[in-house]
Amino acid sequence: MTDPVGAKVTGVAYPTLYVADLAAARAHWERILGPVAYEEQGLCGLRLGDTWLTLMDARHGPHPGGGTRNAELALRVASAADVDRLHAWLVGQGAKTVIAPADTRMYEPMRYACVDDPFGLRVGVYFPQP
């Protein structure tokens, strides 16, 4: 289906998080996604599947100095057990559970968990199930 302007949206890419403490956020996300693969003044990029997660200093964002605001990112993992493992690790890093790991249906059947991380970002973790 096309939208009112006649363009069909087929996906979302390049999520960007504006963070108050870039060094701490970088260390946090490197533990999840691996080392930063792109870097320049005030930003760094981590590979996220076929796209990039960009971390930028909040001074460059729409709310300078405000850190992340009303943002959510869902991480697809390789197995249902990985949902539980990553959720536990995130909580161990200071995240607060919003939804504990559970089998659910959101658009499709999945194992799903959700946390608010220490940097103000809501992070979903999911694995699609048959």
How many folded domains does the chain comprise?
A: 2
Q: Are residues 57 and 89 in the same domain?
A: no
In a domain, 3, yes or no: no
Query: Which pTM does this prediction carry?
Result: 0.79
User: Of 29, 49, 66, which residue is a domain's last?
Assistant: 66
- pLDDT for 62-107, tens place per residue? 777 676 777 888 999 999 999 999 999 999 999 999 999 999 998 8
Domain that residue 76 falls in: 70-130
Q: Are residues 59 and 84 in the same domain?
A: no
Question: Residue 21 and residue 79: Cα distance in Å, rounded?
Answer: 31
Say whether pLDDT at 2 is over 50. Answer: no
User: Of 31, 46, 66, which residue is a domain's last?
Assistant: 66
Query: What CATH number should be reported for the domain holding residue 20?
Result: 3.10.180.10
Q: For residue 66, what are the CA distances in angstroms to 56, 69, 102, 119? A: 12, 7, 32, 11
Please count the CA atoms within 13 angstroms of the CA of 1 that sit on its side-chain side. Answer: 2
pLDDT (mean) for 13-25: 89
